């Protein structure tokens, strides 16, 4: 069975993205999320343009350690699992989760396994955004089996953290 793993990451703005545009992005994001009723088209357009610009901003270890480390994690996970891993970001970075699913689908797998390092319940990305992206991908490729490896068992999270603590004690 051919398996492709999609690693669903959060994302961070690059630290060299223009400060005014970062502030505008967050202001628009907040207004769009909290606005009653449909937002004005010009506001949606401005937000969309800033989102595309931020996602396409060139990333390096220096300006976005998170993006760089996400790709390192994908490489190590691929080596350990013996499957290809595609990284997708919920926000701020490219590729988006939808783009990551398109890439995974192009690899013609029998199954796509989705995992995120967002371990605890209570987060909008892991509980809402990632499942919605999975559903969109399923509609495009109904013959592919999808598995979302989440939520994590709290005792396994605690054991992982305990091991990490031991390494630093």
Query: Do 79 and 49 share a domain, yes or no?
Result: no
Domains: count for the chain: 2
Residue 37 is predicted with a pLDDT of: 87
Query: Do 37 and 70 share a domain, yes or no?
Result: no
Query: Do 147 and 68 share a domain, yes or no?
Result: yes
Query: Do 35 and 117 share a domain, yes or no?
Result: no
Q: What is the mean pLDDT of residues 108-135?
A: 96
DSSP 8-class letter at 125: I
Query: Do 75 and 154 share a domain, yes or no?
Result: yes
Q: How many C-beta atoms surround the C-beta of residue 103 within 10 A?
A: 16
Q: What is the mean pLDDT of residues 153-167?
A: 96
> Where does the pLDDT of residue 39 fall: very low under 50, low under 70, confident under 90, or very high at 90 and above?
confident
Residues 6+ apart with CB under 8 A from 136: 98, 101
Contacts of 68-75 spanning 24+ positions with Cβ under 8 A: 70/7, 70/9, 73/7, 73/117, 74/7
Query: Do 164 and 99 share a domain, yes or no?
Result: yes
Res 158 pLDDT > 90: yes
Task: Look up the CATH number of the domain holding residue 161.
Answer: 3.40.50.1400
Cα separations in angstroms, 110 against 45, 98, 103, 104, 159: 37, 18, 14, 11, 32
- Domain boundaries, position 44: 19-56
Query: Do 82 and 143 share a domain, yes or no?
Result: yes
Query: Do 33 and 98 share a domain, yes or no?
Result: no
Query: Do 43 and 77 share a domain, yes or no?
Result: no
* 92 vs 83: CA distance, rounded Å: 26
Choice among 3-12, 30-39, 47-56, 134-143 with the minimum mean pLDDT: 30-39
Contact 54, 14 (CB under 8 A): yes
pLDDT tens, position by position, 17-34? 999 999 999 999 999 989
């Amino acid at each position: 069975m051919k398996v492709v793993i999609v690693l669903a990451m959060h994302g961070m703005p690059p630290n060299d993205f223009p400060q005014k545009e970062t502030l505008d992005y967050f202001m628009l994001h907040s207004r769009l999320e909290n606005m009653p009723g449909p937002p004005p088209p010009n506001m949606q357009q401005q937000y969309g343009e800033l989102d595309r610009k931020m996602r396409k901003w060139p990333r390096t270890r220096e300006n976005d350690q998170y993006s760089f480390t996400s790709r390192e994690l994908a490489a190590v996970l691929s080596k350990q699992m013996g499957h290809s891993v595609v990284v997708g970001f919920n926000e701020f970075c490219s590729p988006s989760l939808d783009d990551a699913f398109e890439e995974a689908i192009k690899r013609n797998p029998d199954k796509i396994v989705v995992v995120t390092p967002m371990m605890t319940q209570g987060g909008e990305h892991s509980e809402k955004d990632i499942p919605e992206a999975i559903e969109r991908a399923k509609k495009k490729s109904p013959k592919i089996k999808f598995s979302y490896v989440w939520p994590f068992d709290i005792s396994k999270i605690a054991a992982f953290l305990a091991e990490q603590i031991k390494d630093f004690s």
